Structure 1
């Protein structure tokens, strides 16, 4: 038997931060062109080696003059100066200004010698020579009438007024934005020394992983590699340079080879998976034999199986394998170290104050990093609700907006309690409208017409439960359109009274079968009486409830119980999530029939055995009626319900 490596004493989160901060992730500085410098941090101080501007220049269109020639001038008693030339921006002056003279000048032009002020053109009038007898050097001279007095320096930007030669222009660590790059351009700088981006090698482990774009074998339990891409993107967001390596299986030699290759090329190596205490998890052994293991296990949920260590030329952090856990631990512990090494500050807008939408209780003594979703109430106040479908659920990555850190000694968070949500991105905003409930193809069409909606297809029961708790803006639930007799064994229809109905429509439901219906299935009796493989929907699905009602009616007709009929249906308890899922099982040959909709069957080119119809109800949270997103939802239904349903077989108002 392979010896199992148990977790050492779990480190406190503060110790994990300290261990990662002790790693040297700062790469050597590099020089980049201005076109590549945006967002980078200067590696050293830059001093100006010239004045900016490098000459005295006019700050507006007008006339360059000697200020003393204008003393006493005003609207009632202007002075008239001889106009002796003109200077335009980008050219060297070919004229000097003597006493009693003026030179026409453009904004940005070099001040001509002798001039010390500019009078704006709006306070002047040009004059033609009164007669041909007034000559200067034998030529007629026009004049300019000046109706205001000036002081030396008026409307002149002196050389070095922006930046003076020898002045400290930008300090080390300055993040280069358009403003700083503009200054560097003015100084004539075309390359700048910047902090290097830490190179971060990323290795996902596990024999079951397949890179996206390659064929996947569900029969072999293969899954697509999520962590390599989510972590690589998060590394870039933190200012690092991600380097993806081939994924490692659970073979010790291959894992050692990849880890050492990445350690030679990168400042930091990140792996995900193979960090827990199972027999096949061997990374910690590689670290112990080829480097130094600083930490194994942190008292935090999710993410207890975390490693921190060093190779001779690189730092190492091992992340959990589940995508939500891996990304949460990266953002909490690793991203700050990468930002510090790259000179990228943590965004000041990366947190938001909210209040708990529901009560949340805890039963463990570890710090909890609670994935959290955001929704705005009718007054625009931000509410936070827990998003927890298990660390292995990749959909939690997009359903959560951030993380709430819950202290180990916290037993519960009360509804309405203030919390601070650390956002996954400073760009995160609450959805315009938030709904929970039944998975439905018509609803998907509607959501496409709205701006930034969020919808969680958790089923009718969960949608109604959450609507009663006041969290979502709307819920979607179904009711069986059949009229059952009072003594029917059918389940009580789902109560649609939790909210205010803003729309409803009907959809045909039944059994999805292979194209041509080769098994000649005609109805529920075939599932009960024949050895057919059936795929059902989950218990929260309204469609599942409708099926249960139909089976109960069949039991009434036969004088038996619903339980006995259910027991005779092969696969009744085998459930899948979405409205297309049973149909796809049928299409793959994994089932003879699946619970589904006519619209789904025809879309996928499959057969359909109709069993009835059910009504879909869209129910609004009565407290959110005036919320803009809810109004947009209602308007979309009111204005074009027929257009939304058009082209969906078996769906109608």
Structure 2
């Protein structure tokens, strides 16, 4: 057995920032076509080589005049001028305009040399070959003189300017077709682990394979920070494979980012590759998530090793690496937004490390912002989209109290709290209702199950909870609506085991897939098993023990059916609607009611009202789902 590499003394967050700042990520400047310059940063000053505009230009449609010919003119006593010709945009004037005359002129046309003002057409009338001017103008009125926008030799844009539509428009007006810009740091992305599979390739879940999340989230984050991301094949956990891909990336990139294989484990070899090919500056940071971070240099390239879990990797990248990439690209510090809110629930923490707590936002009935922890564990990919930002919790803080004021660093300035926050049972009809609500609202829904949904509603965090748990819920809530759904056992299409009812699960050697204990549907099943036990005059636990797979469970409503169709079980707990959608067989057992309950203090919110309306108008959707109906 190889020697286990323990973490060195954990560095402070400030030391990690300093270590990354010591790395040289700055690329050479480059020249790009103007059309490709959006978002780039000028590497040097650009001076105007021409006047903009390059001629005296009419700013309105009207008549070019001698201003002195209009002095004293008004509506009652207009000046009469002879019309001697016309000037169009894009043409050189070929008309002489002596005093006492005028020339019709288009917006953007060259003002004739012997005129000094333009009268807008709305203040004139035609009288045969004459023009009646019903206002007086001063020299220069309605004329943009040559160089008025930018004069030749003038400093147009300075180095460090980020190029957006306005700046590119100015450069186009100056005739610039190529732009000297700061180079973008090239960042090689390497995900490590034998279990990784690229999206689009076939996944073998039985072998513990998972899709490669970090390559895509990290690459996107690199590009958002102003870098150029390059994805490399994922590296295995042996030294030779790791060294090969890291050396290739280091030879081609300014910075190499790896994720995974950075924790203190016998199979983690990256730190040895870095030490042997360069210098390891730091191994381990006193921060959560993200303790196992590496910083170093390798083959002339900078190197940062991110944690393997997606939430941890993205949090560490955003906190430590993104600022360095932006600086190297010459981009200003990222626009950040911080909102203040009150903790919706209490949160304990006492590990002595700086913690970046993923947090979600919700507004209460008065429009005040509440903050709740979003923490399914670092390995939960969905935490990436369920959180709105992070709360930095100091190492010496062990407890955040309910109602305590905290600052949330939003993931982007345009983040807004959802107008509807719901939790609870997952359900096919509910998904359709949320789609309807999305047309006018910003809903967020977490399928945590009936039990957890009711607990969170009791704590006052969500706006609504969806439950199929029977009986009284034991909390104050307002029902927004309800529907029924038929449940039973999902079996293969031809029902090869001839499953007829719940008794077959008890009496025969059948493999069964249940739902998790948080699911209201599992509670309904448990009640049905209890009824069966009463009929047989036996203890309920005896029947539960006799069902192979009853104690294990899957989270989502389709999961048992999919396992059955994959040949991993003979029957699974599910809905008729699910069996119908997946072309599976179905053995009916009963019916349960799904209720949508609202926090009484939130019923005035627009999102809650939208859900109530969607349920009331759901008859067509209910009729299209097998086994669905309205409560009697």
The structural deviation recorded for 1:148 is 3.3
The structural deviation recorded for 1:77 is 4.3
- Name the CA distance, whole Å, in 2 between partners of 1:494 and 1:297: 50
Q: Does 1:507 align with 2:485?
A: yes
In structure 2, the residue matched to 1:534 is 512
1:478 to 468, 473, 477: 468
Query: Could you say what secondary structure the match of 2:506 adopts?
Result: helix
In structure 1, the residue matched to 2:443 is 453
- Counterpart mapping for 1:247-326 below 5 A: 247-326=234-313
CA 1:293–1:97: 2 relative to 1, 3 Å: same
- Name the CA distance, whole Å, in 2 between partners of 1:31 and 1:528: 74
1:551 to 506, 529, 532: 529
- Name the CA distance, whole Å, in 1 between partners of 2:380 and 2:126: 79
- Name the CA distance, whole Å, in 2 between partners of 1:622 and 1:346: 43
In structure 2, the residue matched to 1:64 is 64
- Counterpart mapping for 1:486-525 below 5 A: 493=471, 495=473, 497-525=475-503
> Is the CA contact 2:117–2:137 (under 8 Å) kept in the aligned structure 1?
yes
The structural deviation recorded for 1:301 is 0.8
In structure 1, the residue matched to 2:103 is 103
> Is the CA contact 1:347–1:426 (under 8 Å) kept in the aligned structure 2?
no
The structural deviation recorded for 1:474 is 0.7
Name the stretch that deviates more: 223-232 or 92-101.
92-101
> Is the CA contact 1:477–1:496 (under 8 Å) kept in the aligned structure 2?
no
In structure 2, the residue matched to 1:466 is 456
In structure 2, the residue matched to 1:487 is none
Give CA-to-partner distance per residue, 1:298-352, whole Å, 9 cap, x none.
Answer: 1111110001111232111101111111111111111121122223334435433
- Counterpart mapping for 1:210-609 below 5 A: 210-348=197-335, 350-451=337-438, 452-480=442-470, 493=471, 495=473, 497-609=475-587
The structural deviation recorded for 1:620 is 1.3
- Name the CA distance, whole Å, in 1 between partners of 2:378 and 2:331: 29
CA 1:77–1:650: 2 relative to 1, 3 Å: closer
- Name the CA distance, whole Å, in 2 between partners of 1:11 and 1:642: 60
- Name the CA distance, whole Å, in 1 between partners of 2:413 and 2:74: 56
Query: Could you say what secondary structure the match of 1:14 adopts?
Result: helix
In structure 1, the residue matched to 2:112 is 112
> Is the CA contact 2:482–2:615 (under 8 Å) kept in the aligned structure 1?
no
- Name the CA distance, whole Å, in 2 between partners of 1:388 and 1:328: 13
In structure 2, the residue matched to 1:11 is 11
The structural deviation recorded for 1:80 is 3.3
> Is the CA contact 1:498–1:619 (under 8 Å) kept in the aligned structure 2?
no
> Is the CA contact 1:88–1:106 (under 8 Å) kept in the aligned structure 2?
yes
CA 1:350–1:88: 2 relative to 1, 3 Å: same
> Is the CA contact 1:201–1:269 (under 8 Å) kept in the aligned structure 2?
yes
Name the stretch that deviates more: 303-312 or 443-452.
443-452
Name the stretch that deviates more: 44-53 or 25-34.
25-34
The structural deviation recorded for 1:543 is 1.1
> Is the CA contact 1:370–1:404 (under 8 Å) kept in the aligned structure 2?
yes
The structural deviation recorded for 1:76 is 4.5
In structure 1, the residue matched to 2:620 is 643
The structural deviation recorded for 1:158 is 1.0
Name the stretch that deviates more: 52-61 or 599-608.
599-608
> Is the CA contact 1:20–1:334 (under 8 Å) kept in the aligned structure 2?
yes
CA 1:494–1:295: 2 relative to 1, 3 Å: farther
> Is the CA contact 1:43–1:173 (under 8 Å) kept in the aligned structure 2?
yes
The structural deviation recorded for 1:262 is 0.3
Query: Could you say what secondary structure the match of 2:52 adopts?
Result: coil
Give CA-to-partner distance per residue, 1:29-84, whole Å, 9 cap, x none.
Answer: 22222221112211111111111111112222233233333334444444434433
Give CA-to-partner distance per residue, 1:384-428, whole Å, 9 cap, x none.
Answer: 211111111111122112212111111222223332222223343
Give CA-to-partner distance per residue, 1:124-149, whole Å, 9 cap, x none.
Answer: 34444xxxxxxxxxxxxx44343433
The structural deviation recorded for 1:544 is 1.3
Let me know the Cα RMSD of the aligned residues.
Answer: 1.9
The structural deviation recorded for 1:105 is 2.2
In structure 2, the residue matched to 1:132 is none
- Name the CA distance, whole Å, in 1 between partners of 2:118 and 2:449: 75
**Paired residues, number:** 627
Query: Could you say what secondary structure the match of 1:305 adopts?
Result: coil
The structural deviation recorded for 1:594 is 1.7
Q: Which runs of 4+ in 1 moved over 6 A?
A: none
> Is the CA contact 1:508–1:612 (under 8 Å) kept in the aligned structure 2?
yes
> Is the CA contact 1:477–1:494 (under 8 Å) kept in the aligned structure 2?
no
- Counterpart mapping for 1:41-60 below 5 A: 41-60=41-60
> Is the CA contact 1:464–1:498 (under 8 Å) kept in the aligned structure 2?
no
The structural deviation recorded for 1:93 is 1.4
Give CA-to-partner distance per residue, 1:477-499, whole Å, 9 cap, x none.
Answer: 1134xxxxxxxxxxxx4626442
Name the stretch that deviates more: 97-106 or 313-322.
97-106
The structural deviation recorded for 1:578 is 0.7
* Consecutive unaligned residues in structure 1, runs of 5 or more: 129-141, 481-492
Query: Could you say what secondary structure the match of 1:114 adopts?
Result: coil
Q: Does 1:169 align with 2:156?
A: yes
CA 1:125–1:281: 2 relative to 1, 3 Å: same
Name the stretch that deviates more: 413-422 or 303-312.
413-422
In structure 1, the residue matched to 2:591 is 613
> Is the CA contact 2:451–2:469 (under 8 Å) kept in the aligned structure 1?
no
The structural deviation recorded for 1:188 is 0.9
Give CA-to-partner distance per residue, 1:599-621, whole Å, 9 cap, x none.
Answer: 22232222222222211111111
- Counterpart mapping for 1:182-193 below 5 A: 182-193=169-180
